[in-house]
Amino acid sequence: MSVLEHDKTFEQPINWTTTFFLGAFHVGAIAALFFFTWKAFAIAFVLWWVAGSLGIGMGYHRLLTHRGYKTPKWVEYFLTTCGTLALEGGPIAWVATHRVHHQLTDVEGDPHSPREGGLWAHMGWIITGRAMHNKAKELLHFVPDLRKDKFHSWITEWHWVPIATLGVILWAIGGLPVLLWGLFLRTVLGLHATWLVNSATHMWGSRRFLTNDTSKNSFWVAMLTFGEGWHNNHHAHAQAARHGIAWYEFDINWYGICALKALGLAWDVKLPKLTKPEAEPAIDAPVSPFVPNAEVVVPTAAGD
């Protein structure tokens, strides 16, 4: 059955709180187009990188979810705070959802598989049904590492504080144009870019590795997400901090991790384990987001 023939989005009750805020941000994003200034554009561009690359790509995803590299705690906390500026929830909910996705990719239980519909995979799972929100009990055993950390527990509860504070600052330094561009338009574009990884890269693109799922590499999604669009590479080598394997696979998040390493702020950086040259990798089986070259497993909270 085509992903367009059946969509779970239309079978689930709407989460009105989430839908209201997402709707309000989309209205603000449209309004921003009528309040253009170069100052607002420049600030929005920088914040798009801060939230999308430092926060989501390098922080929430490659560091917290997969532990693809290690950093000092203050760097981890800084990247996590940047992640809250993307309006994608707190780290515990985000990381748990993504770990579930890797364990159950494209099978029953995957939070956002396009086999349940393209719209469902993109944003339907967020606005309807039972998206994994911060206080969901089913999250807990997927994130024993984060639950033990007081900062991650605190910022998961209060993840809206940094972005709300940012809104006040943007208003103070540039009024309505800077607020609309730096908060609303920038956030909406970042959200849809992240959601394209869930939807588009499981629907369209090329496959370098023969993984047991529908993950694909997408150049244009990689451009919008600072390198997260090399999704088939990622599912084949889930713990690797580098997603763009070949030299022509643009991966800003990987370059950022390299910069941290050069500064002595990142170490134990995991790389894809290839048996052929970079431009022509071997076809490997999927690996665990936690243990390289093993079946996907999730740490339990036993003994916490």
Query: Residues 115-139: pLDDT tens digits?
Result: 888 999 999 999 886 655 555 556 6
- Given a cut of 90, whether residue 41 has pLDDT beyond it is yes
In the predicted model, what is the mean pLDDT of residues 208-229? Answer: 96
What pLDDT sits at residue 296?
A: 36
Within 8 A by CB and 6+ apart from 298, the residues are: 99, 103, 141, 142, 290
Task: Provide the β-strand partners of residue 267.
Answer: 70
What pLDDT sits at residue 165?
A: 98
What pLDDT sits at residue 298?
A: 41
Listed by start position, the domains of the chain span 13-204
| The two three-digit tokens of residue 92, written as one number | 């515990």
What pLDDT sits at residue 189?
A: 98
Within 8 A by CB and 6+ apart from 124, the residues are: 7, 8, 9, 12, 116, 117
What pLDDT sits at residue 132?
A: 55
Give dist(CA 188, CA 51) in Å, integer.
12
Instruction: Identify whether the C-beta of residue 303 lies closer than 8 Å to the C-beta of residue 141.
Output: no
**Banded pLDDT at 82 (limits 50, 70, 90):** very high
* DSSP state letters, 124-164: IHHHBS----TT-GGGGGG-HHHHT-HHHHHHHHTTHHHHH
In the predicted model, what is the mean pLDDT of residues 230-258? Answer: 96
Give dist(CA 285, CA 247) in Å, integer.
22
**Banded pLDDT at 44 (limits 50, 70, 90):** very high
Higher pLDDT, 85 or 142: 85
SS3 230: strand
| The two three-digit tokens of residue 102, written as one number | 């890797």
